[in-house]
């Protein structure tokens, strides 16, 4: 039977999207991340392909492209939901601090684990392998925290987005160290970020002003194409391209803040808001589709046999302990005592996979088993699932107790004069 044919592909793609939609509904009821179900689906499809002798297909080029587009869509989707107000400054700074310190300390802890448990591992390669394993996955977190209260949900959106961006910047800063001729140092790196922010702001203003004047109904995919082009050109120029996407999303979501004074005369807020709402819808839809196929293809490409290694289990277990120990300390300092379920919402996912496959050949270590990657992704997702289920149960108990008290207070009434007598 031919698996890769025109009509079969249409059927397969359609079934995967339908299943992903069902997984999302199941995820809301059970708190099991839909991403985990997609990976399991991919692993199942891997065995089906083996049955039809089609397992030799190379999925990596597709995985890489889907990962990049998915990352752009997920960051843009998150940025479109963020409001920049004066009262939001403290939550933004707090989530930024947690993301930055958590990234650095988690990477350092994973470096020590990899360096001591993998004989061939060098310190430079350990930093490159550890960075992807220390980045939070906004692809998993953002769809998973919709049931939390507004404050906690906002914290996780900010934190995971900052973690994605800073993790990618840190990874490419470290890869630059492999080639001393291209290494610009800390000063050059800081200058690169400032230049990226300036270009991002100019591009964001220009895109909004131009697109509000386009009368054609077919312009949203044109806008997405422009953003993808800017991201790719930024990468070619060695800029921190993800900042371009983040800043554009923040500018269009907070137009009244960025278009003040004389600039407000240049923009038609009604038309611009219409573009914003349509972009928000199409970004969410595109992120859903791209995320679906990325994790299914990741499931198709992983070697399940590597999970059976004792060394993989030990290293993965130590990494998981380091993740939550460091996170506990940081959250107690920045957030206080109310750190549930935030403590356990630290999954690894799309960025981890994407950067792992981007490690330069000269830094790759044969002794590093990809099963570590899979164990950490599955482990953090399962721990998050358990924490979300517990939090949902705890909240339902609290609500039932509160409603019970309310019923009792309604039932009680003052005794009549006759009853007093």
Q: Which two tokens stand for residue 404?
A: 């019970």
Q: Which two tokens stand for residue 89?
A: 């400054």
State the Cα–Cα distance between residues 354 and 67, nearest whole angstrom.
6
421 pLDDT band (50/70/90 cuts)? Answer: very low
Within 8 A by CB and 6+ apart from 216, the residues are none
Q: Is the separation of the CB atoms in 103 and 160 below 8 Å?
A: no
Report if residue 417 sits inside a domain.
Answer: no
What local confidence, expressed as pLDDT, does residue 139 receive?
79
- 196 pLDDT above the threshold of 70: yes
Beta strand segments in 174-293, E: none
Report if residue 413 sits inside a domain.
Answer: no
Q: What average pLDDT does range 160-178 have in this prediction? A: 85
Tell me what percent of the residues of the chain surpass a pLDDT of 90.
25
Q: Which two tokens stand for residue 233?
A: 């050109």
Report if residue 421 sits inside a domain.
Answer: no
Report if residue 186 sits inside a domain.
Answer: yes
Structural domain for 10, as ranges: 6-395
State the Cα–Cα distance between residues 173 and 238, nearest whole angstrom.
10
Q: How many folded domains does the chain comprise?
A: 1
The helix (H) or strand (E) run that includes residue 52 is: none
Question: In sequence order, what DSSP letters do the residues of 229-287 get, joined into one string?
Answer: HHHHHHHHTT--HHHHHHHHHHHHHTHHHHS-GGGGGG--HHHHHHHHHHHHHHHHHHH
- 133 pLDDT above the threshold of 90: yes
What local confidence, expressed as pLDDT, does residue 405 receive?
63
Nearest to residue 142, comparing CAs of 384, 354, 327? 384
Residue of higher predicted confidence among 383 and 349? 383
State the Cα–Cα distance between residues 364 and 128, nearest whole angstrom.
9
Q: Is the separation of the CB atoms in 252 and 206 below 8 Å?
A: no
Q: Which two tokens stand for residue 71?
A: 């990352």
State the Cα–Cα distance between residues 229 and 8, nearest whole angstrom.
32
Report if residue 17 sits inside a domain.
Answer: yes
Report if residue 409 sits inside a domain.
Answer: no
Supply the angle between the helices 185-211 and 241-253 in degrees, to the nearest 10: 40
- 75 pLDDT above the threshold of 60: yes
The overall pTM is greater than 0.85: no
CATH code (residue 380): 1.20.1530.20
Report if residue 410 sits inside a domain.
Answer: no
Burial class of residue 294 (count of CB atoms within 10 Å of its CB; 0-12, 13-18, 19+): buried
Report if residue 78 sits inside a domain.
Answer: yes
Residue of higher predicted confidence among 309 and 331? 331
Residue 421: other Cβ atoms inside 10 A: 6
């Amino acid at each position: 039977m031919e698996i890769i044919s025109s009509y079969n592909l249409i059927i397969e793609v359609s079934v995967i999207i339908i299943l992903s939609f069902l997984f999302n509904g199941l995820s809301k009821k059970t708190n099991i991340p839909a991403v985990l179900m997609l990976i399991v689906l991919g692993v199942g499809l891997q065995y089906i392909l083996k049955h039809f002798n089609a397992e030799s297909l190379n999925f990596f080029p597709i995985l890489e492209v889907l990962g990049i587009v998915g990352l752009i869509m997920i960051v843009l989707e998150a940025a479109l939901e963020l409001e920049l107000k004066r009262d939001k400054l403290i939550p933004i700074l707090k989530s930024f601090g947690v993301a930055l310190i958590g990234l650095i300390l988690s990477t350092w802890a994973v470096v020590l684990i990899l360096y001591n448990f993998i004989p061939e591992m060098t310190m430079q390669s350990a930093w490159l392998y550890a960075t992807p394993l220390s980045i939070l996955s906004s692809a998993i977190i953002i769809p998973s925290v919709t049931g939390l209260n507004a404050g906690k949900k906002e914290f996780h959106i900010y934190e995971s987005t900052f973690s994605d961006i800073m993790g990618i910047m840190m990874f490419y800063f470290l890869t630059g160290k492999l080639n001393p001729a291209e290494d610009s140092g800390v000063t050059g790196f800081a200058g690169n970020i400032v230049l990226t922010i300036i270009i991002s702001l100019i591009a964001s203003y220009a895109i909004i002003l131009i697109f509000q004047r386009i009368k054609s109904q077919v312009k949203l995919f044109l806008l997405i194409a422009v953003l993808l082009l800017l991201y790719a050109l930024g990468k070619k120029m060695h800029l921190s391209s993800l900042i371009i996407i983040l800043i554009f999303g923040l500018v269009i979501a907070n137009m009244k803040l960025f278009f003040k004074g004389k600039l407000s005369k240049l923009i038609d807020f009604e038309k611009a808001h219409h573009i914003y709402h349509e972009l928000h819808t199409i970004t969410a839809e595109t992120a859903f589709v791209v995320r679906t196929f990325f994790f299914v293809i990741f499931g198709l490409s992983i070697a399940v046999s590597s999970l059976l290694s004792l060394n993989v289990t030990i290293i993965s277990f130590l990494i998981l302990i380091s993740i939550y120990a460091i996170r506990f300390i940081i959250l107690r300092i920045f957030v206080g005592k109310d750190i549930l379920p935030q403590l356990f919402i630290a999954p690894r996912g799309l960025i981890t996979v994407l950067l792992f496959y981007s490690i330069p050949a000269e830094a790759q270590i044969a002794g590093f088993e990809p099963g570590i990657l899979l164990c950490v992704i599955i482990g953090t997702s399962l721990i998050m699932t358990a924490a979300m289920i517990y939090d949902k149960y705890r909240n339902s108990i609290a609500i039932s107790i509160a409603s019970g008290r309310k019923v009792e207070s309604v039932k009680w009434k003052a005794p009549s004069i006759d009853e007093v007598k």
